[in-house]
Amino acid sequence: MKYLKFLPRFAGLAVVAFLTVGAADCYKPVTNSGLPKHIKRVAVPAFQFEATGARYRVSSRFTDAVIREMLKRGRGLKVQGTREGADAVVEGTIRDFSFTGVLLDREGRSRVYEVVVTSAVTITDLKENKVIYDNQNFVFRDSFEFSEDPRSFFNEEDPAVERMAKAFAASVISTVVNGIGVREEKGN
């Protein structure tokens, strides 16, 4: 009878131990890349800018963001700017870049703008000479606001483009690293 008072504690510990052991297998980190195993070096040449209306450094910001994200999350991939010696290449094109006023102030001036960037990304395996990923319609949206006080005016377009470049890069690299949409050859 004296052991019955310890039964609830023992049962509680047993349940915690069971749940811990049972759940441990559910949270294994992803360690494989969606890229073929032979790809160790990836070239990321400067993205092209086909959109009408020149915007300062938009394509270079997107290129830099992809390079930074690939270095951060590419699981040991080496990243370079040229195709020479690379196993794969990530090519991108900014197809459209626009910003539009979406909210007016009391005087009828635009205070909040929406920025939309449409881009294309293709990843080619240079060793096998085949496209392993292609999305010709990456669309990203963001907004920025102008201050109503002219003394504290700060152009938010550049930070908005920077945020969009980071979101774009995170999406591209997540897609590749996790193997989503990466084309695989079916074995015989």
Question: Domain locations in the chain?
Answer: 32-178
Q: What is the per-residue pLDDT across 49-98, written as a single tens digit (0 to 9) for each?
A: 887 765 667 888 999 999 999 999 877 889 999 999 999 999 999 999 88
**26 secondary structure, DSSP code:** G
- Are the CB atoms for 115 and 98 separated by under 8 Å? yes
CA 47/CA 167 separation, integer angstroms: 16
Q: Does the model's pTM come out above 0.75?
A: no
pLDDT at 14: 54
Q: Which pLDDT score, from 0 to 100, does residue 1 have?
A: 55
d(CA 13, CA 15) in angstroms, rounded, equals: 5
C-alpha angle 148/150/153, rounded to 5°? Answer: 85
Query: pLDDT over 70 for what percent of the chain?
Result: 68
Lookup result for tokens 């079916």: 186
Cα–Cα distance between 63 and 91 in angstroms, integer? 9
> Which of 48 and 149 is assigned the larger pLDDT?
48
- Burial of 92 per CB tally in 10 Å (0-12, 13-18, 19+): buried
Band of pLDDT at residue 126, cut at 50, 70 and 90: very high
- Better-predicted residue by pLDDT, 144 or 21: 144
Percent of the chain at pLDDT exceeding 90: 25
CATH of 32-178, one of 3.30.160.150, 3.40.800.20, 3.40.50.1820, 3.40.640.10: 3.30.160.150
